[in-house]
Amino acid sequence: MNLTRRQLLILLPAAAAAWEHVMAGTPENAPNYKSAEHWWGMLVDITKCIGCGSCVRACQLENHVPDGYFRTWVERYVVQDWGFERVHVDSPDGGKNGFPDLGGDAKSFFVPKLCNHCADSPCTQVCPVGATFVSPDGVVLVDPKYCLGCRYCVQACPYGCRFINPGTNTVDKCNLCYHRITKDLTTACCEVCPTGARQLADLKDPADPVHEFLKTHSVQVLKPHLATGAKAFYNGLDGSVR
């Protein structure tokens, strides 16, 4: 086939447009949802978390998470004023039913944890069969039909966000309520959070208030030295949190 320069210049944009369409993908059941237009993350405001456990309960009900396993959970940190290495962390039943009052005057606060939906996630890199992946809209998902249950990813996740679901013997984790966010709903945990400590963030949407928040606050991700590209942003994150 002989192409003239003119023909090539006409063909290239057309090919690019076609490729863009392939990359975007359109879930059939959510016809208005285009994954290329979103890049999901979450904003967690530790200064607002009251440790009520509503998020944990909602997550378990929404996603049918078995008892004793958690896609999201809440930890309580108790820190002596200078002893970052001597922290006391507890999370009774994932913080599902709240926390008993410890009293005392030590610094103490709640940290909700979930999958950080890393852009350069260690867990997806180790999957031998392509059962876990970063979706085109930035959500780390598990394909339960393809997962072998080999547990490589469970070990690879530096945040401890993955577990083997005893019902299916496949890996389970927070999928940022992918069945909700693709239908213009927020996640179950963000929906029920009574203080707004958790907020779903669409980093590709310029109108999302997360941009203003990130600009005006000192926000940190967990374990930034691992360069995982974590997209769970924490406001008011204490140095003792691991």
Partner 1 sequence: MTFKNVAHLFRIAAAFAIGFTIFLVVRSLLVPKSFGQYGHYRGAALNEIASRPVSYAGHEVCETCHADVLDVKKQGRHARVACESCHGPLAAHTQDPASVVPAKLDTAKLCVRCHEANHSKPMDFPQVHSAEHSAGLPCNTCHQPHSPRIEAEAKTK
- Residues contributing to the site for partner 1 (CB under 8 A): 22-23, 25, 27-30, 33, 35, 47-54, 58, 61-62, 76, 78, 98-99, 101-105, 108-110, 130-136, 141, 143, 145-146, 175, 178-180, 182-183, 185-186, 188, 191-196
- Please say which residue, 116 or 199, places its beta carbon nearer to partner 1: 199
Would you tell me how many other CB atoms lie within 10 Å of the CB of residue 165? 18
Nearer to partner 1 (CB atom), residue 27 or residue 158: 27
DSSP state letters, 23-41: HH---TTSTT--GGG--EE
The answer to whether the CB of 72 falls within 8 A of the CB of 192 is no
Look up residue 104 and give its amino acid. G
CA distance 24 to 6: 28
Nearest distance, CB of residue 162 and partner 1, angstroms: 16
Whole-number minimum distance, CB 223 to partner 1, in Å?
23
Q: How far is the CB of 26 from partner 1 (least distance, A)?
A: 9
Distance of closest approach, residue 61 Cβ to partner 1, in angstroms: 5
**Which residue number, 118 or 134, has a Cβ lying nearer to partner 1?**
134
Q: Which is nearer to partner 1, 157 or 181 (CB)?
A: 181
Residue placing its CB nearer to partner 1 in the complex, 133 or 152? 133
CA distance 113 to 110: 10
- Residue 77 tokens read as 């940190």
Is the Cβ–Cβ distance between 226 and 37 less than 8 Å?
Answer: no
Residue type, 23: M
Q: Cα 15 vs. chain centroid, distance in angstroms?
A: 33
d(CA 98, CA 118): 28
Q: How far is the CB of 175 from partner 1 (least distance, A)?
A: 6
DSSP 102: -
Cβ-based nearer residue to partner 1, 115 or 131 = 131
Where does residue 34 fall: left (phi above 0), alpha (psi -120 to 50 degrees), or beta otherwise? beta
Q: How far is the CB of 200 from partner 1 (least distance, A)?
A: 12
